[in-house]
Structure 1
Amino acid sequence: MIGRLHGVLLEKHAPQIVLDVQGVGYEIDVPLRCFEQLPALGEVVTLHTHLVIREDAHLLFGFLTAAERATFRQLIKVSGIGAKMALAILSTLSQQELAQALATDDVKRLSSVPGVGKKTAERLILELRGKLTSADTIPTSLLASAHSDIVQALIALGYQEKPAMAVVETLPADIEVGTGIRLALKQLAKL
């Protein structure tokens, strides 16, 4: 519903920030790793967001990259992992560390996250094995542009990550997301 916000950073109180977007202040929870990389107050920042609507609250979570948001979305799909727990995982482990821990069945590393016990760590490994890729396998050009949104859209449509990234890398750097998705779909249809 709210996929990305671009505005002025008004307040920083870990793990929550307030982002002013054309006069509207959005309270956004961010992982501590993201919090540490945010610019100074009064600076402009763009965050990829995920909105959680509950009976008693609407919660907005923000991430510096679309890849980090995608990891968050994979985490909350795991049985017993809520948004706050997923935020704690991403605050403690980088995407690369998380992917490595899952690939090597490192229960001890996953259990180092506050609130994650042995059984939860084992469930994470079981349900996410092979679904997360190490952050260093995603080209920087994709992480820093609209290309990442195009790749995520293609993956959501059922395309594999590697062919989607290969096609999107051929698109111009300044392409808009909607146009990029259409062009990428045309190229993928030819494969």
Structure 2
Amino acid sequence: MIGKLKGTVDEIGEDHVVLDVHGVGYLAFCGARTLGNLPGAGEAATLFIETYVREDMIRLYGFASAHEREWFRLLQTVQGVGAKVALAVVGIMAPGDLASAVALQDRAAIARAPGVGPKVAARIVAELKDRAPAYAGVGLAEGIGLKRDIGEGLAPAPIQDAVSALVNLGYGRDQAASAVGIAAKEAGEDASSATLIRLGLKALSRL
């Protein structure tokens, strides 16, 4: 059973990458985010692997982190969700965003994944709502609380400014709220927006 591959990128296809590990090319199917973040051909890369063994084939799925792989596994416990749909979901949503979407019952966010209709998205958020916290990663609780506070106008101005700044940089609102939640916990309630942005960006590198 293959759990992790570390080698050199040989080629990147529409839905897969070939990773050369000591002269052996391993083909791993990956989501859009993972493929988009891989370096170019000839560069070193590491993938966390989920190995599927069937009577007629062996298929590898590759992920940028072990956390992303855990979500891939968890999604497939939902009725009607197979590897293709699970890969599509983790392909458009980072683990932190996915955890927030489940916790907030945001079916629309999950339905944006290719091949995921409204009914499947509804089942995902419904069936995983009690299990998501164990897979949430850093900052989910802080992010959910901040999103509520921001929406109700209760969050302090530096926090609201920091979240807005991260959103303007291209991060999702849930992801930005999670990161600023981590930053506020680390820097204290009186931290400036500049400090929260700096620490938030550092937190985002870990989400």
Indicate the TM-score class for this superposition, using the shorter chain for normalisation. Answer: 0.5 to 0.7
**Structure 1 position 135, deviation (Å):** 4.0
**Structure 1 position 137, deviation (Å):** 3.3
Q: Which amino acid aligns with 1:18?
A: V
SS of 1:79's partner is coil
Is structure 2 residue 103 aligned with structure 1 residue 97?
Answer: no
Distance 1:12 1:112 in 2: 24
Work out whether residues 68 and 94 of structure 2, in 8 Å CA contact, stay in contact via their aligned partners in 1: no
Q: Which runs of 4+ in 1 moved over 3 A?
A: 133-138
**Structure 1 position 100, deviation (Å):** 1.3
Q: Which amino acid aligns with 1:87?
A: L
Distance 2:43 2:62 in 1: 16
Q: Which amino acid aligns with 2:63?
A: F
Choose which of 124, 137, 140 in structure 1 pairs with 2:139.
137
Deviations 1:42-68 (A, max 9, x none): 111111100112344321001111111
SS of 1:97's partner is helix
Q: Which residue of structure 1 lines up, in the alignment, with residue 43 of structure 2?
A: 43
Distance 1:79 1:55 in 2: 23
Is structure 2 residue 88 aligned with structure 1 residue 88?
Answer: yes
Query: Normalized against structure 1, the TM-score is what?
Result: 0.67
Mark the structure with the bigger radius of gyration.
2
Q: Which amino acid aligns with 1:118?
A: P
Q: Which residue of structure 2 lines up, in the alignment, with residue 76 of structure 1?
A: 76
The alignment-based identity, stated in percent, is: 40
SS of 2:78's partner is coil
Q: Unaligned 5+ residue runs, structure 1?
A: 139-191
Q: Unaligned 5+ residue runs, structure 2?
A: 141-207
Q: Which amino acid aligns with 1:93?
A: M
